[in-house]
């Protein structure tokens, strides 16, 4: 997981662009699930590694992060199947209730993972307990990753070099 935090911001951005290109190329093939896994793995790996690496010594936060991560990964399976079915010739519908429930669970999971990551960044920089107002900027930059990587990754590189 350290690899995501040691990369420069432009390297991470290029990886994400290449992940999006391979997703589009593999979507109509038998390897669509692999392409989807690589694409979401690159995005999710960055967010997960922020919370995981910066909280290595705090077992309670790491357990909470792992539970939310498992819920998120399970919730994106119906989304991925639905996305693949939209691209395929024979469009098979997923039950709307399953789609809605997985979307809600995925939303709350990624929000909680983002909060853990944003709070971890500020706690490592400031070395004290914080309220949401103190790490709201980092939280929104994590949620809007394509922009946030340009602001957060240099700070993460500095934190990793200090270790």
CB 5 within 8 A of CB 49: yes
CB 77 within 8 A of CB 101: no
Query: What does the DSSP 8-state code read for residue 93?
Result: P
pLDDT at 149 over 80: yes
Query: 18-33 pLDDT, tens per residue?
Result: 988 998 888 778 788 8
The residue range of the domain holding 123 is 2-162
Helix locations, 7-55, DSSP H: 9-26, 32-54
Stated pTM of the model: 0.85
Residue 8, pLDDT score: 92
Number of domains in the chain: 1
For the chain, the distance separating the N- and C-terminal CA atoms, rounded to the nearest angstrom, is 15
Distance CA 93, CA 109 (A): 24
Q: What is the mean pLDDT of residues 100-113?
A: 94
């Amino acid at each position: 997981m350290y690899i995501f935090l040691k990369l420069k911001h432009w390297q991470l951005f290029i990886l994400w662009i290449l992940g999006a290109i391979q997703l589009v190329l593999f979507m109509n093939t038998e390897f669509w699930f692999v392409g989807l896994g690589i694409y979401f793995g690159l995005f999710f790996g960055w967010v997960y590694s922020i919370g995981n690496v910066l909280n290595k010594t705090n077992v309670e936060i790491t357990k909470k992060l792992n539970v939310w991560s498992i819920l998120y990964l399970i919730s994106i399976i119906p989304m991925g199947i639905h996305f693949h079915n939209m691209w395929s010739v024979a469009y098979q519908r997923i039950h709307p209730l399953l789609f809605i429930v997985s979307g809600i669970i995925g939303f709350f999971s990624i929000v909680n993972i983002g909060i853990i990551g944003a709070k971890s960044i500020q706690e490592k920089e400031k070395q004290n307990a914080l309220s949401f107002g103190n790490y709201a900027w980092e939280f929104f930059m994590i949620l809007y990753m394509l922009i946030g990587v340009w602001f957060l990754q240099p700070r993460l590189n500095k934190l990793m070099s200090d270790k």
